[in-house]
Chain A
Amino acid sequence: MSLLELKDVSMAYGGKVFALQDINMTVEKGEWLAIMGPSGSGKTTLMNIIGCMDKATSGTVVLDGIDLTDVDHQQLTTLRRDKIGMVFQQFHLIPYLTAVENIMVAQYYHSLPDKQEALAALDRVGLKDRAGHLPSQLSGGEQQRVCIARALINYPVLILADEPTGNLDEANEKLVMNIFHELHDEGHTILTVTHAPEVGREAQRAVIIEHGRIAGSEAKAE
């Protein structure tokens, strides 16, 4: 069984404008898939549906064996907490909390804060010595690595990253992509969204969407 399966998924904001139309795709466990497409093509909308933040207007989404079509708001929150790890273009670190505290926030809402584990997660992304820094004292690349550490802390089955390198320079982009490669090698399932082809090509496979429809796909030539 696939980890994620989308069948005829459509999304219409306000019941009129179709942001997504008839999306069919599957993601296998341990796979790294990129979703590519120009700005406004519906990538983020798709992320929101897969990330249990929004519900599709029609179609079925099955995540880790659970059909998202008939879960309520409360269950969606629980699924999001337990199954998904999210990495954002704007990092979304809480400005008045240190790096390690930002990770502990995710632990707090999931189960219990555990500082040792949070520190280990920071170590995992090479930021052990930055644990006590505020986001404002970290570079963009470092903030994104804190964000990745936070996404990993509750052992998600699926890592979603929306334009993870969108706000980073080339050197930091490389650093972050290396982490994704490592995570993939460790067996994590990753879904990255990008409008930049060179970032998309890092993944095993890419799905291209245009105007809310799947316009094609390409597999990495190994």
Chain B
Amino acid sequence: MAIALMAVAVGATIISGMITVYREIPQQMGREFRAYGANLLILPGKDRTTLSGEDVKKINDSLNGYEIVGIAPFLYERLKINEQPILTSGTDFSMLQKVSPYWQITGSWPQAEKREILLGAEQAQRMNIKPGQTVLVSAGNDADEETFVVSGIVHTGGKEEQFAFVDLALLQKMLQKNGQLSLAQISIVADGAALESVSKMISQNYPEVQPQLVKQIAHSEETVLSKLQALVLLVTVVVLLLTLICVATTMMAVVTERRREIGLKKALGAENSNIICEFLGEGCVLGFFGGILGTGLGYLFAQVVSMNVFGRAVEFAPSIAVFSIVLSIVITGIASLIPVRIATSVEPAIVLRGE
């Protein structure tokens, strides 16, 4: 019986723990995924070629119900760097680091308002430039050349390696495009559906801009999430089955052990319904206590998993507790069915045969 209790408790532990983690995964993983870059772009609206800083601020304000990891503004222009035409982006580096934490920098990020430049790895290699060297930058054929220090080289594995990056305000001044932007990248904690609705809300309320989902990331995020959840579900089902088997085996042993007692009760006039009620009742009590024990342990288990994997605590969910206790009772009930059948088939005559 103690073994069956253990089995139920372990089963309930895994199940309540898994369900807790299962429910937490989308939220927690959503946060994790934000490390892979922006999931929403804000582009200029129809018939417009630029955004304004005001537009971006308005949109930021309209998203106050969401957890925004960062909004990075970008202004793109083809500049001449050491006489080479290179697509250069002015941006807010502190924001960029939040939106794209995966960028790898050799050297350091440019400092705000300083004449420092971040070169894409491909360009740096082509021009054979190392961090710390200087380059001559000009806004066009007739414009003056200005000296910039290459603060760092960026590796992203993507098209960014062909670009150069400078401070936004500096570029705006050089191009005389004060307050103007080409686009803004937003990293926001939201799943596919929520992201869609954010996008819809923006395009309805702010016709001067045009939101665009970064499909690739949002999509792969969904895929990974659903796969993870399927895995958790699978493990839960397997654990349920194992618990079922273990409890059934133990109950079977209990029935075998109590054959004489069952025979005696029948000899005293117990009906099959009496025997069934007794064993099912015992199974339910077992399921109840195992469930309570397991739910408590499962909460701790989920806490440990969440702390280690996501670095965040999970909240105790009473609905999960109730569910796993009820599930434990149902499982022990089902597991008792075969042993109970065996119990009812015990003949009262065995008590006289002296087995």
What residues make up the interface of A, taking CB atoms closer than 8 Å to B? 44, 47-48, 51, 53-54, 74, 77-78, 80-82, 86, 88-90, 92, 94, 105-106, 109-110, 150, 154, 162
Q: Give the nearest-CB partner of A79 in chain B.
A: B269
Mask of B254-266 contacts with A, CB within 8 angstroms, 1/0: 0000001101111
Complex contact B354–A77 (CB within 8 A) = no
State which of B221-229, B318-326, B345-353 sits at the interface with chain A.
B345-353
Which of A47, A54, A90, A110 is close to B269, meaning CB atoms less than 8 Å apart? Answer: A110
Complex contact A54–B271 (CB within 8 A) = no
Q: Report Cα–Cα, A162/B264, bound state, in Å.
A: 14
Q: Report Cα–Cα, A51/B353, bound state, in Å.
A: 13
Which of A74, A78, A81 is close to B268, meaning CB atoms less than 8 Å apart? Answer: A81
Q: Does B60 contact A (CB under 8 A)?
A: no
Which of B261, B263, B271, B352 is close to A77, meaning CB atoms less than 8 Å apart? Answer: B271
Residues of B within 8 A of A74 (CB): 271
Residues of A within 8 A of B204 (CB): none
Residues of A within 8 A of B351 (CB): 86, 88, 90, 92
Q: Report Cα–Cα, A172/B48, bound state, in Å.
A: 111
Complex contact A109–B270 (CB within 8 A) = yes
Complex contact B348–A53 (CB within 8 A) = yes
Q: Does B267 contact A (CB under 8 A)?
A: yes
Q: Report Cα–Cα, A162/B348, bound state, in Å.
A: 14
Residues of A within 8 A of B261 (CB): 94
Identify 17 new A-B residue pairs, CB closer than 8 A, beyond the known A92-B351, A105-B268.
Answer: A44-B352, A51-B267, A51-B352, A53-B348, A77-B270, A81-B268, A81-B269, A82-B269, A86-B351, A88-B351, A88-B352, A89-B354, A90-B351, A94-B261, A106-B269, A110-B269, A150-B268
Residues of A within 8 A of B352 (CB): 44, 47-48, 51, 53, 86, 88, 162
Q: Does B197 contact A (CB under 8 A)?
A: no
Mask of B15-30 contacts with A, CB within 8 angstroms, 1/0: 0000000000000000
Residues of B within 8 A of A105 (CB): 265, 268
Complex contact A54–B349 (CB within 8 A) = yes
Taking the closest CB of chain B, its distance from the CB of A80, in whole angstroms, is: 5
Complex contact A92–B270 (CB within 8 A) = no
Complex contact A109–B264 (CB within 8 A) = no
Taking the closest CB of chain A, its distance from the CB of B139, in whole angstroms, is: 94
Q: Categorize the interface residue count of chain B.
A: 10 to 19
- Report how many A-B pairs have Cβ atoms within 8 Å: 57
Complex contact A77–B269 (CB within 8 A) = yes
18 contacts between A and B (CB under 8 A): A44-B352, A44-B353, A48-B352, A77-B270, A80-B269, A81-B268, A86-B351, A88-B351, A88-B352, A89-B354, A94-B261, A94-B264, A105-B265, A106-B269, A109-B271, A110-B268, A110-B269, A162-B352
Residues of B within 8 A of A54 (CB): 347, 349
Q: Report Cα–Cα, A81/B274, bound state, in Å.
A: 13
Taking the closest CB of chain A, its distance from the CB of B217, in whole angstroms, is: 64
Complex contact A77–B264 (CB within 8 A) = no
Once A77-B271, A109-B270 are accepted as A-B contacts, the answer to whether A48 and B349 lie under 8 Å apart by CB is: yes
Residues of A within 8 A of B265 (CB): 105, 109
Residues of B within 8 A of A90 (CB): 351, 354
Nearest first, the 4 closest Cβ-Cβ pairs linking A and B are A81-B269, A109-B270, A53-B349, A92-B264
Q: Give the nearest-CB partner of B355 in chain A.
A: A90
Q: Which of B246-285 contact A (CB under 8 A)?
A: 260-261, 263-271, 274
Q: Report Cα–Cα, A150/B265, bound state, in Å.
A: 12
Taking the closest CB of chain A, its distance from the CB of B267, in whole angstroms, is: 6
Residues of B within 8 A of A82 (CB): 269
Residues of A within 8 A of B263 (CB): 92
Mask of B328-355 contacts with A, CB within 8 angstroms, 1/0: 0000000000000000000111011110
Q: Give the nearest-CB partner of A89 in chain B.
A: B354
Taking the closest CB of chain B, its distance from the CB of A192, in whole angstroms, is: 13
Q: Give the nearest-CB partner of A160 in chain B.
A: B352
Residues of B within 8 A of A51 (CB): 267, 352
Q: Report Cα–Cα, A74/B354, bound state, in Å.
A: 24
Taking the closest CB of chain A, its distance from the CB of B264, in whole angstroms, is: 5
Complex contact B348–A80 (CB within 8 A) = yes
Residues of A within 8 A of B266 (CB): 77
Residues of B within 8 A of A109 (CB): 265, 268-271, 274
Q: Which of B128-158 contact A (CB under 8 A)?
A: none
Residues of A within 8 A of B347 (CB): 53-54
Q: Report Cα–Cα, A97/B351, bound state, in Å.
A: 18
Taking the closest CB of chain B, its distance from the CB of A152, in whole angstroms, is: 13
